[in-house]
Structure 1
Amino acid sequence: MGGSSDPEIKDTEAQKALADVAKEQWRIYNESFIPAENQWIANVYSQNDADRYNAVAGTGNLAVQSAFKQMPAQLATGAASRGMGVDSGAFAGGLNTSYTDMASAISAAVNSGQIAQQNKFMTGLGNVAAVGMGAQTQATQSTGNLANMQNQYAINSAQNSAANNMGQQNLAGTAIGMGAGYYMNPNAQNGG
């Protein structure tokens, strides 16, 4: 049935050329892309460092304090325009409320910023896994976007607190005015 045959199959010249091309592409990939991928992966993991969360917390805290900075002066001006002194209980109550609102806003801004930072890290991890599987990645939020979000939240919180406190001062001023009017009107006191 046949003569001797060599059991080893030899590559053709075209297969050898393709193997050389693949070998060169693999070399380029290892020299160029692997270091970039490793740097990117290190950057993704650094998103979960305590320093990142502390920076986000500091930005949120500063944004809220800056937004609330003018609150005592605004309350004093509002109280004075309604005839209330800064030593009145209504003013002290409004000031206390504004500081409570500021503490709540700081807590909310810090928490939301840190949650956004955690989401950024988790999205990055998902992207690392996706690249490893050859799948599509997702965009991650930049640190600048986090700071803008915290600043806008701080401004809104300060404005809402100021509006609420001014409304309470208006109510207190109206009550004081009505009480004074009742006291000064002898007809109202005598039932007629």
Structure 2
Amino acid sequence: MRDIEQALSDIAGIRAQLASSTRFHGFAPAAIMGSGALAFLAASAQTLWPERLASDPMRYVEVWVAVAIAASGLIATEGLARIGRMHGTMASMMVAGAARQMAPFGIAGAMITLILYRSAPGSLWIMPGLWQMLIALIGFTSLSTLPRAIIWPAGWYFLCGVIVLDLASRGTPLSPWMMGLPFSLGQAAVALILHRDMERRHVRL
């Protein structure tokens, strides 16, 4: 019995190791592009109706939290629909691995946003740059399971985050395009990389 348990444990370990080094195909290029389009539309709406959608840092953050929830829902819905097809019996392990990589950054961003929103709204200027840097870190930590070219949009997000943080720290008012430009272009780049990777995979097959 002990030998069987050890064998099962070894098999589970091998499967987990294989899942951690396997290319993750749960992100659909169309959904990623759609999330970038949402960011562009949100920035456009804030530009057209600043009194309603960007009158103060709290309203500004509320809009972008709503965009983040909608974009995450879009990506997750499409991803869950395709991951079973792409990864078969390893689907659950691939989802768990992706969650372990991304969830800490998402939770950190959500908790910091909530705390500042409730207790220090005057410090919300930090959030756009911080969000972008957290997205960059997700990209950097996903290099083992996503196309290597993801490093370029990750670098873009990190650079934009630094610039936005610097501008906001100097008293520059929060602009819709501090979020809209980095996210619409960054997500478009990610979608293009994933699409090209998918085409190359189909050619090999």
TM-score (norm 1): 0.32
More helix by share: 2
Larger RCO (CA within 8 A; separation ≥ 6)? 2
TM-score (norm 2): 0.31
